Amino acid sequence: MKRVVVTGMGVITAAGTGTNAFFRNLLDSVSGIAPVDVPMSDRLKIRLAGQITDFHPAFPKERMPQLDRFSQLALTAAHEAWNQANVTGMFDPFTAGVYYATGFGGSATLEKAYTDLFLRDSERIHPFSVIAAMPNAAAANIALDFGLKGACLTYAVACASSAVAVGEAYRAIRSGTSKLVVAGGAEALLQFVIMKSWESTMTLAIEDKIRPETSCRPFAKDRTGLVLGEGAGAVVLEEMEHAQARGATILAEIVGYGLSNDAVHLSRPDAEGQARAMRAALSEAASNGIKLSDIAYLNAHGTATVMGDKVETESIKMVFGERARHVPISSTKALHAHLLGAAGIVEFIASVLAMNHAIAPPTAHLWQADPECDLDYIPIEPRQLIAPRAVMSNSFAFGGTNAVLIAKHA
Amino acid sequence: MESVLQEVQAMLREQYSLTESQVSASQTLASLGIDSMATIEFMYHLEDKFSISLSQERGKLETVSDIAEIVERALSEKAKS
């Protein structure tokens, strides 16, 4: 089996663009959550979102109609990762690929098309609507920009999408079918129709009228639900010898990927299914020399729904046993919101940054502990980590999929 | 009054920042850097400009004059109906 390393990372969220700004904001609890500003948002009952308000895409004018917002975000993150990896022309394009993810794909393009047809009585829609809206548009645009001619895949596994994309890319490199991969996910779902659909699920956080930016409160007694967010993340993954041969800086090594499906319920989380994914990831990590006690930080799925956080607390206890109370855990969704198809990658990047900077971001807005969420959820203040060896990131999805990634220090 | 060809040429110049000599009638779109996707987008703008429908158009589209021809055809279809 080949070893798989991370050589570049890129991120864009409401809580920061670029890994440096993003991580600093996570440590400082700078929230990107605010009332959303999108067409017809005045008709939303719950207007909170993690909306990126300072995004000024610099793509050529003629390319813009081909790029739904989710592709624009994806390319922004991918270019940051690619630049950091400093990949020169010295790679085989045929063993280089894209493993990307999204939950809703080009939904802004679709909403505009529906609006034009149904509300404006238009007889036609823009000819690029198909190539902009297709869920694999982001992946295809990344492949196009960097000349990656191998696999170009898109995973749609709801909130676990991009954790799965990273995990499957890791497997492809591990097995030798790919040498170099851009992996990650993008989500740009802040449209009236999708936000209204989520509103009906009764899982969205109720707005704190005084401090709306603190409305998402994972693991807190006063949590009321999740906040939808947009954003993207990307990593450059390489076969270790490939990275070493070109003198790349190695940021981390992926050593474990666990995947399971609950097959119990479409939306209700299941501790047993989550535990199976964590155990599978830990078991694989063990074969790479990482023990359970080496996990120095766990970035929880932690969406701040009443049931979700409780069930994740149970599943972590099932897996970590006595050690569960001694693992620093946080949910950064309190700040960047729930990025659905991009959640897994953004939180994986947060985990690697925590390991490499030896400091874990806190769970922001966790002022009131919940007795049913009684693990070390790093309330409010960041936590120094002493010589962290490995980190874990949990992603659990509607549809029952659970994906867990473990990275170890380079 | 401007011919359809002249109007098409003016649109091409504006949209793709081209010069008068570049958009001569016999010039191929490919040589102007206008690929098949850009051509389709350009036709979308032509529909707006001339209030015509080109969605059923499957003719040859290689040169600037080819575009003018399909527009003229669509305009005469419109006049008939």
Asked if A376 contacts A197 with a C-beta cutoff of 8 angstroms, the reply is no
List of residues 6+ apart from A3 with CB closer than 8 A: A174, A239, A240, A241, A253, A288
d(CA A397, CA A266) in angstroms, rounded, equals 9
Asked if A297 contacts A385 with a C-beta cutoff of 8 angstroms, the reply is yes
Sign of the C-alpha dihedral computed for residues A62, A67, A73 and A79 taken in this order:
negative
Indicate the residue type of A59. F
Q: Do the bridges between strand A383-384 and strand A390-396 make them parallel or antiparallel, or are there none, so unpaired?
A: unpaired
DSSP single-letter state for residue A249: P
d(CA A404, CA A395) in angstroms, rounded, equals 6
Q: Which residues of B touch A128 (CB under 8 A)?
A: 37, 41
List of residues 6+ apart from A182 with CB closer than 8 A: A78, A81, A82, A97, A98, A99, A100, A142, A146, A148, A234, A235, A236, A237
CA-nearest of A240, A243, A252 to A408 is A252
Question: What pLDDT shows up at residue A89?
Answer: 74
CA-nearest of A53, A51, A56 to A33 is A51
Size of interface A-B (CB pairs under 8 A): 18
d(CA A287, CA A255) in angstroms, rounded, equals 8
d(CA A332, CA A217) in angstroms, rounded, equals 10
**Number of alpha carbons in the 13 Å side-chain half-sphere of residue A205:** 35
Question: What pLDDT shows up at residue A275?
Answer: 98
Q: Is A125 exposed, middle or buried (CB count within 10 Å of its CB: 0-12, 13-18, 19+)?
A: middle
d(CA A263, CA A286) in angstroms, rounded, equals 27
Question: What pLDDT shows up at residue A62?
Answer: 85
d(CA B32, CA B50) in angstroms, rounded, equals 23
| Cβ neighbour number for residue A214 with a 10 Å cutoff | 18
d(CA A234, CA A7) in angstroms, rounded, equals 11
Q: Which residues of A touch B44 (CB under 8 A)?
A: 124, 126-127
Q: B42 to chain A: nearest residue by CA?
A: A127
For A363, the token pair is 């769970």
Cβ A66–B37 below 8 Å, yes or no?
yes
Question: What pLDDT shows up at residue B1?
Answer: 60
On whether any CB of chain A is under 8 Å from the CB of B32, the answer is no
CA-nearest of A379, A332, A302, A310 to A231 is A332
Cβ B53–A123 below 8 Å, yes or no?
yes
DSSP single-letter state for residue A338: B
Cβ B44–A123 below 8 Å, yes or no?
no
Q: Do the bridges between strand A231-239 and strand A4-13 make them parallel or antiparallel, or are there none, so unpaired?
A: antiparallel
Write down the ipTM of this complex.
0.79
Out of A62, A123, A127, the one facing B40 most closely (by C-beta) is A127
Q: B38 to chain A: nearest residue by CA?
A: A62
Residues of chain A with pLDDT under 70: none
pLDDT digits (tens, 9 = 90+) for B58-68: 878 899 999 99
A-interface mutation test, from B41, B43, B48, B57, most A Cβ less than 10 A away: B41
| Cβ neighbour number for residue A389 with a 10 Å cutoff | 15
CA A123 to chain centroid, in Å, comes to 38
d(CA A292, CA A207) in angstroms, rounded, equals 38
Active site residues of A: 159, 301, 338
CA-nearest of A155, A331, A69 to A226 is A331
Question: What pLDDT shows up at residue A121?
Answer: 86
pTM of structure: 0.95
On whether any CB of chain B is under 8 Å from the CB of A127, the answer is yes
Cβ B43–A65 below 8 Å, yes or no?
no
Q: Is A250 exposed, middle or buried (CB count within 10 Å of its CB: 0-12, 13-18, 19+)?
A: middle
CA-nearest of B31, B29, B33 to B46 is B29
- End-to-end CA distance of chain B, in Å? 23
Out of A62, A127, A131, the one facing B44 most closely (by C-beta) is A127
For B6, the token pair is 């002249």
Mean pLDDT across B16-40: 92
On whether any CB of chain B is under 8 Å from the CB of A247, the answer is no
Angstroms from A116 CA to nearest CA on chain B: 14
At A209, is the secondary structure helix, strand, or coil?
coil
Asked if B44 contacts B12 with a C-beta cutoff of 8 angstroms, the reply is no
